[in-house]
Structure 1
Amino acid sequence: MADVRSKLSTSRLVTLVGAGGVGKTRLAARIATEVRRAYPGGVWFVELSTAETCDLLPQSVADALRIQEDPARPAMESVVEYLRDRRALLILDNCEHRLHDCSVLLQELLACAPELQVIVTSRQALGIAGEQTLSVLPLPLPDPDRPGLPTENLAQVDAIRLFAERAAAVVPGFAVTDGNRDAVVRICRRLDGIPLVIELAAVRLRALSVGQLLERLDDRFRLLTAGSSAASKRHQTLRALIDWSYELCTGPERLLWGRASVFAGSLDLEAAEAVCPGDGIAREEVIDLVIGLVEKSVLLREEHPRGVRYRLLDTIQEYGAESLAASGDHERLALRHRDYYAGMAAAARERLFSGAQLELLTRLRLEHANLRAALRFSLDHPDGAETCLRMAIDLLYHWKTSNHVREGRRWLDEALAQVTEPSGTRARALAGNGWLAIFQGEKADALAMLMESRSLAERLGLDEVLADVVLYSGMIAMDDRDPESAKKLYHEALAGHRAAGNDRGVALTLNRLCLAYSEEGESERAVAAAEESLSICAAHGEGWHRAYALMALAVEMWRRGEVTRATSLAQDSLRFTGAMDDWLGIRVALEVLAWAAARDRDCGRAARLLGAVCNVRRTPGMPLSGFGHLAEFHDECTARIRTAIGPSGLARAASEGAWLPLEEILSYALGERELASEPAVRPSPLTRRETEIAELVARGLSNKEIAATLVIAQRTAEGHIEHIMGKLSVHSRAQIAVWAEEQRASHGPEPPAGTNQPGH
């Protein structure tokens, strides 16, 4: 509402753009109520969905303005005459089905009535001069990265709150409780936070439990058919709502809508051009069709660091999928989608040890949902398990660096269960799956898979796979505190990778060999191994293995007492692993920086860094498996700090680090900011009254209840909440509640064990 009012202050035409059911009409109606006093000429709401021909548009406006009809005079003339000298606000609702005619009408009205302002709701912009657009997005949903949000705060998240209010209207006494919260969250996520769809779903609670509703959402087009009898026909069913958008599309746009439904999550233009052309769509047409679907709010445009991507809301995607299935084209499109992403995975593997690495891994992260869909299709498709297995192992570094190790193992396990014949693909998959199992700490599973992989590699003459198996076996020996055996295995692996000309394997083995030498006190050999790895990585422009070589070398420099160099190396490593969100790499680098700070007698900094390590450990990620031999240094560092500043000093400083968001953790660890002089509790940007209201929001009170509690007008309470959101840079009541909770927690000595930390 604030954004609309702001745009009205600088423009005479504001268009609210968004998908059907997202709340454009309700927003416009609420604005009409709020700003009525500013328009002495009146605020007029015009419903255009029944204006099926261009000549009916002016008549619809005239009817809304209550202009008496003059049979001898065109309705448009009467409208212009009425509005010519009035400061009025006209709201035209549902303009998308007569977009051109509405544009012509508004251009004439705005030209003839200089004091007139207009709000339009549409699924695409009008595209006329002076128009300002505002995208109306679905309601905010609970942050998946904050699963521990208290139930009372969760109930204030907009989508959840709407569901609960509508549910209570049909089931008196309904509320979000600890028992049903997970199901309610899943329902609202499944329905994309679209208000109309949430309301249609909540109505079904007259006959269903929350659990039953969740189970039946897969068949939503059959289920969600009960709307308000007072609503227009197209709002009474979900299918009617989406039919409305479908009918607005051209034939090729409908084809692209259906074909785009094979994508999961989002897609980019390159993917659309690769998968969707043919049989009615030329490749060169795809870009114009994408633009058309974006303009009609079928495809949502999203900005990403790598470029623009597009997304179908879940409900719209399912509609497209039904259309595609009805055309008999689903199998062909799904195969093209699978082949495209299998090709992407294979190409990424081939170029992984290169300067393109960061871009490739970032692309795979963006495409994770599509990769997952391609894997599932392959696994479920006759004779597709082999493709699934190849694809899953091609994505080995994606699973590792993007913190999807468990999912990667699941795909490999399922595909290996189907692809049982001896083959190079199976041998490679077993070795890679064993590597992932090591990082999960599941050494027994890892050893079993590595043993089978070694047998296959020896039988089939797969030297590179054999070298990987020996390398991973050395990692297990190192975790078992047997550095002597680990060194022997690493040397065998190194010889194998050198013979195969596999620089990736050489670099990875040298990194591990550096740690083993360091553990055995062979400092010069440790340094030489790390430096050779760094040289190989530099020759290829590679970053990930380089970061781990820097980390291994930092460990050795710390052992040698070269604290300054150890710090510099660990920070260099952290710059890459931090940019990659590689949680294991981040954690190990933070450990080394803490050890170095403690040895340099900066125990406050060391304690904060250890607190940050605990923060990272509580986020989704991997344990320190593969580097378990370093755990003793963590304990040694903790003891050193406790001796220097005492248990309370350690707890206080560690608490400060534990509460830092990841961005601040990285900035502090890299020496880009200093926290020592900052107060433990940061000053609040809110006034005393605003703080009081924030606390009431956190308790779940509505605006009306807040006004009654503080004996102020409800409008005053709403104004305070708008100011609070502005000062805190948040966009929902739930975020205010989270801020209030964190403010209370920041007065304690340290965060409670097991809680989710701010920023994650």
Structure 2
Amino acid sequence: MAESRPAAVRGRLPAELTSFVGRRRALADTRRLLSSSRLLTLTGVGGVGKTRLALRMAAEVRRTFGDGVWFVELAALRDPALLGLTLAQRLELSRVSANPTADLAEYLEDRHLLLVLDNCEQVAEACAVLVSKLLAAAPQLRILATSRHVLGVEGEQVLSVPPLSTPPVEAPVADAGQYESVVLFADRVRAVLPEFVIGETNRAQVIEVCRRLDGVPLALELAAVWMRTLSLSQILDRLEDRFRLLATGRQARPARQRALDAAVGWSYDLCSPAERMLWDRLSVFAGGFDLEGAEEVCSGDGIPCDAVLNLVAGLVDKSIITRMMGTAHTAAWYDMLTTIGQYGGLRLAEAGQTREFRFRHRDYYRSLAARWEAESFGPRQADWYLQLRREHDNLRAALDFCLAEPGEGPAALEIAAPIWMFWFAGFLREGHRYLSRAIDAAPEQTPTRAKGLWAGSYLASFLDEAEQATRLLTEYEELAERYDDDHMRARIAELSGHMLILQGDLVGAVAQLERGLVGHRAVGDVQGEFDVLILLSAATFFLGDPRVEDFGRQAYELTESRGADSAKGYALWTIGLVQWRDHNQFDKATLSLRESIRLWQPVNDRTGMGFSVQALSWCAGSDAPDERAARLMGASRAVWRSNGAYVVGMTPYSQFDDQTEQRIRSTVGDEVFDAAFAQGAAYSFEQAVALALGEETERDGAAKPGMAGRLTRRELEIAGLVGEGLSNREIAARLVISQRTAETHVEHILTKLGFSSRAQIARWVTDHLER
């Protein structure tokens, strides 16, 4: 692998939640093959440790890649058409269009980067096509994939991940500690029985468990959990029973697959009938679930709703599902390994219940979308955004199910249309795709289709799909007259006004929007009223109409009265624009616009941040038209395009861009401007936002070392432990504090630094606290 160029460590890797055991040979083989090949696929049965090996390898070589190491989890992805968008979002592309594959190829063309694609078998054919195109376009790109099957791409190197080493029959019993499977089993047993040690009395039984399970890590971990309640001899007896059961008609399966089947099936058998039933039903979730979802989807028909909590707790205790801690804004979240979920899915299918619970899953997310629509403009606004982001894979799964089922197009619209603001805030292209498909799948002219037409038209207009936006709006207008619906008429005026702004007809836009404002107020649509006030603020600002200040104030007061803090960011955007242009209050404008960004950061509203970073570039170009202002203009472009929006190229926004550009060019010259603009445009999303907030470093635009001053001494200590890869539980044990206290400290660190993941804290620690 090539030498890295001087740069901060970039990329995204999830933290390892448990200790990494052994694998020296496998790591060496992976490193050797990755250094000599641009595509390496780690293959093997589920549970053999492909993902853990890939993550450890990625962590070890991350400094070798100047543009970072990026991990993309594909286990929950079912629609191959979303593969490109998923990668683009994960890589924080500076441009996402209707052809994300082309955007990825262009983005990666000159980057030295390692892409880790995990669980490719779900979309293997699409992965093969995309990987081929990216490798052809980007000579410095390397890809490390995990899959149960080879991808079949030219130049692909394949490494079959072996199980952990186990003591052969002839090996001296005393040497057992030299074998990886024994070390892993003992480590995982100590997690549930801290006093456990391997000694003369149990060594032979431990060795036999490891042999029976063929060194498959997941199988060993499942067996270790049962040491809470069973002895080693009992575990061996039950494994023997399970292998005897598996022997019928399945002798041809590889030993490691039979070992995994035995461990998973045996764990399944040891669960209570109700726990097994819940395990099966939970398999319909994608990417995890919370307690409410489990209760709504899985209860009934043998599982009382009030029994779900205890059953979930039982499955957590047995390591069938994993609990991720909640935050101040979210409930506890649970997940199930792909292999475990697939086992439950097979049992559900054998019972003939898959379709039933897919429908129940669909119904839950349809109701969730309706609740979002009713409640998201209120005091739980941030909570709702965070919840839908966490439920993203489940929303995809519900929509994919509807679009694959004949006659379920209307149900897809009932999920996709009410959450149009969720799509608007961070997933424009994806939301547009789902709405377009759902509209095509629900041709009957009904109120449900009408809502989809409006939402689809709104997103299409923002994505510069003017022809489609007009076509959908025209049909929506026809339905508004058919139903004689004043609310629909208010929405038509709102959307027409929005489209006229983008076309540059500001006078016509204001006239339409004023009608929309009256209409929304008449029917009591507070969200619609707020949206129109923001659009009126934009239109009157561009016109130089003094009413802009009043519209902005009304919007701000509306968010205050409803407690909708995230939406307040848009009101602060309008206030900042007025402070800048109409009052020459550059400092106040900068504070307002930066505050709007900070309100959007926790919910990752990239569209909102795009507006404010762009406005900050206008302010900077007026106040100090220097090299930094040019760089901020470029960074504005990077933020906008990360969400697939094209506002930067639209009238009248582009007029202010043009004026700002000319002012800076006349001050610093074309050469300096072009270089600085290009530098900013090449920034990652995080770098661009850090620059806008004044928190960039000279090296890479990440958080300033001085930001450490925003953390308390205890928070700095805990940030360092996060950087070491410790979990909240391990931090609590190290510092002799409660796990809840550790979790609270980590949440405070994330909030103060404006980060969204532990991996970002770890990178920040590496860059700024360990020099």
**Structure 1 length-normalised TM:** 0.61
Q: Assess if the C-alpha contact under 8 Å between 1:354 and 1:542 holds in 2.
A: yes
Residue 472 (structure 1) shift: 0.9
Of 618-627 and 266-275, more deviation after overlay is shown by: 618-627
Deviations along 1:655-700, one digit per CA (max 9) or x if unpaired, are 66456554454344234x465xx47899xx9xxxxxxxxxxxxxxx
Which of 312, 315, 328 is 1:293 aligned to?
315
2:278 aligned with 1:256, yes or no?
yes
1:28-76: per-residue Cα shift (whole Å, max 9, x none)?
999xxxxxxxxxxxxxxxxxxxxxxxxxxxxxxxxxxxxxxxxxxxxxx
Give the stretch that moved more between structures: 467-476 or 251-260.
Answer: 251-260
Whether 1:373 aligns to 2:400 is: no
Tell me, yes or no, if structure 1 residue 629 matches structure 2 residue 652. Answer: yes
Alignment pair present for 1:483 and 2:509 = no
Deviation at 1:647, TM superposition (A): 3.5
Provide the rounded CA distance (Å) in 1 between the counterparts of 2:401 and 2:119.
33
Q: Aligned residue for 1:584?
A: 607
1:139 matched to 2:100? The reply is no
The answer to which of 597-606 and 581-590 deviates more is: 597-606
Distance 1:375 1:182, change over 3 A: farther
Q: Give the Å deviation of 1:350.
A: 0.5
Aligned equivalents of 1:191, 1:363: Cα separation in 2: 34
Give the alignment partner of residue 517 of structure 2, picking from 487, 494, 500.
Answer: 494
- Residue 609, structure 1, aligned to residue 621, structure 2: no
How do 1:194-233 residues align onto structure 2 when only pairs under 5 Å count? 199=160, 233=255
CA distance in 2, matches of 1:629, 1:569: 22
Structure 1 residue 617: deviation in Å? 4.1
Which of residues 538, 541, 550 is equivalent to 1:528? 550
Name the CA shift for 1:149/1:294 in 2 (closer, same or farther; >3 Å): farther
Q: Is the 8 A contact 1:470 1:490 kept in 2?
A: yes
Structure 2 counterpart of 1:553, from 575, 582, 585 = 575
- Matched-pair identity in %: 31
Answer whether contact 2:600 2:608 (CA < 8 A) is retained: yes
Shift of the alpha carbon at 1:377? 2.4
Spell out, residue by residue over 1:119-155, the C-alpha distance to the aligned partner (whole angstroms, 9 max, x if none).
xxxx9xxxxxxxxxx9x94632752434666899767
**Partner Cα separation in structure 2 for residue 649 and residue 491 of structure 1:** 44
Stretch deviating more after TM superposition (385-394 or 372-381): 372-381
Aligned to 1:386: 410
CA contact (8 A) 1:479 1:625 kept: no
- Partners of 1:369 and 1:434 lie apart in 2 by 24
Counterpart in the other structure of 2:300: 278
Q: 1:188 aligns with which of 137, 146, 164?
A: 146
Contact 1:598 1:640 in 2 (8 A): yes
Distance change >3 Å, CA 320–CA 491, structure 1 → 2: same
Are the aligned partners of 1:464 and 1:497 in contact in 2 as well (CA < 8 Å)?
Answer: yes
Kindly tell me: are residues 198 and 474 of structure 1, through their superposed partners in 2, closer, same or farther at Cα, counting changes over 3 Å? farther
Determine helix, strand or coil for the equivalent of 1:143: strand
* Higher Rg: 1
- Cα drift, residue 579 of structure 1: 2.8
CA contact (8 A) 1:515 1:552 kept: yes
User: Once structures 1 and 2 are overlaid, which stretch shifts more, 576-585 or 348-357?
Assistant: 576-585
Per the alignment, do residues 153 and 531 of structure 1 end up closer, same or farther by CA in structure 2, a change over 3 Å counting? closer
Distance 1:365 1:182 in 2: 32
**Structure 1 position 324, deviation (Å):** 0.5
Please say which of residues 259-268 and 416-425 is displaced more in the overlay. 416-425
CA contact (8 A) 2:115 2:141 kept: no
Q: What's the counterpart of residue 714 of structure 1?
A: none
8 Å contact from structure 2 (residues 115, 144) kept in 1: no
Q: Counterparts of 1:314-463 in structure 2 under 5 Å?
A: 314-401=338-425, 403-463=426-486
Q: Secondary structure at the match of 2:429?
A: helix
Cα distance change of structure 1 residues 316 and 27 upon mapping to structure 2, 3 Å threshold: farther
Alignment check: 8 A CA contact 2:621 2:629 kept: yes
Q: Does the CA contact (< 8 Å) of 2:320 and 2:340 recur in 1?
A: yes
Amino acid at match of 1:459: R
Distance 2:531 2:558 in 1: 10
3-state SS of paired residue (1:495):
helix
Question: CA–CA distance in 2 between the matches of 1:626 and 1:577?
Answer: 23
Whether 1:511 aligns to 2:426 is: no
The residue type paired with residue 599 of structure 1 is S
Q: Tell me how far 1:620 sits from its aligned partner.
A: 4.4
8 Å contact from structure 2 (residues 634, 676) kept in 1: yes
1:254-296 CA deviation, whole Å, 9 max, x = no partner?
2222111000111112222222223443334333332333344
In structure 2, the partner of 1:243 is 265
Task: Report the alpha carbon displacement of residue 450 of structure 1 after superposing the two structures with TM.
Answer: 0.7
Q: After superposition, give the CA deviation of every residue in 1:540-581 in whole Å (9 maximum; x if it has no partner).
A: 112344322321332333332332332232222222223322
Counterpart residue identity of residue 260, structure 1: L
Do 2:576 and 2:589's aligned partners in 1 also have CA atoms closer than 8 Å? yes
CA distance 1:479–1:302, change in 2 (3 Å): same
Q: Distance in 1 between matches of 2:469 and 2:609?
A: 24
Task: Tell me the SS of whatever aligns to 1:139.
Answer: helix
Amino acid at match of 2:472: M
* 2:97 aligned residue: none
Shift of 1:627: 6.1
TM-score (norm 2): 0.60
Q: Which amino acid aligns with 1:559?
A: R
Residue type of the alignment partner of 1:505: G
Q: Is the 8 A contact 2:453 2:476 kept in 1?
A: yes
- Do 1:386 and 1:415's aligned partners in 2 also have CA atoms closer than 8 Å? yes
Note the C-alpha offset of 1:646. 2.8
Aligned residue pairs total 527
Q: Against the structure 1 CA distance between its residues 580 and 626, is the aligned structure 2 distance closer, same or farther, given a 3 Å change threshold?
A: farther
Q: State whether residues 514 and 553 of structure 1, in contact with CA within 8 Å, keep that contact through their aligned partners in structure 2.
A: no
Distance 2:294 2:630 in 1: 50
Q: Show CA shifts across 1:210-269 (max 9, x none).
A: xxxxxxxxxxxxxxx9xxx99983445764564354345443332222111000111112
| Distance apart, 1:509 and its partner CA | 1.1
CA contact (8 A) 1:268 1:310 kept: yes
CA distance in 1, matches of 2:435, 2:365: 17
User: Which residue identity does 2:495 align to in structure 1?
Assistant: Y
- Equivalent pair of 2:112/2:141 in contact (CA under 8 Å): no
Q: Is the 8 A contact 1:438 1:625 kept in 2?
A: no
1:641 to 664, 668, 674: 664
- In 1, Cα distance between equivalents of 2:566 and 2:354: 39
1:470 corresponding residue in structure 2:
493
SS in 1 for 2:324: strand
CA contact (8 A) 1:138 1:192 kept: no
Residue identity opposite 1:341 in structure 2: Y
Query: CA distance change for structure 1 residues 626 and 284 in 2, over 3 Å: closer, same or farther?
Result: farther
Alpha carbons 1:192, 1:313 under 8 Å: kept: no
- Structure 2 CA distance for aligned equivalents of residues 151 and 189 of structure 1: 27
Which residue of 2 is the match for residue 711 of structure 1? none
Q: Deviations over 1:500-539 (max 9, x none)?
A: 122221221121112222222212x111111112222211
* Structure 2 residues not aligned, in runs of 5+: 1-15, 28-46, 59-69, 73-89, 92-103, 121-133, 152-157, 164-246, 706-719, 727-762, 765-771
Change (3 A) 1:231 1:477: closer
Change in Cα spacing, 1:520 to 1:390, as seen in structure 2 (3 Å) is same
Please give the root-mean-square deviation of Cα atoms over the aligned residues, in Å: 4.5
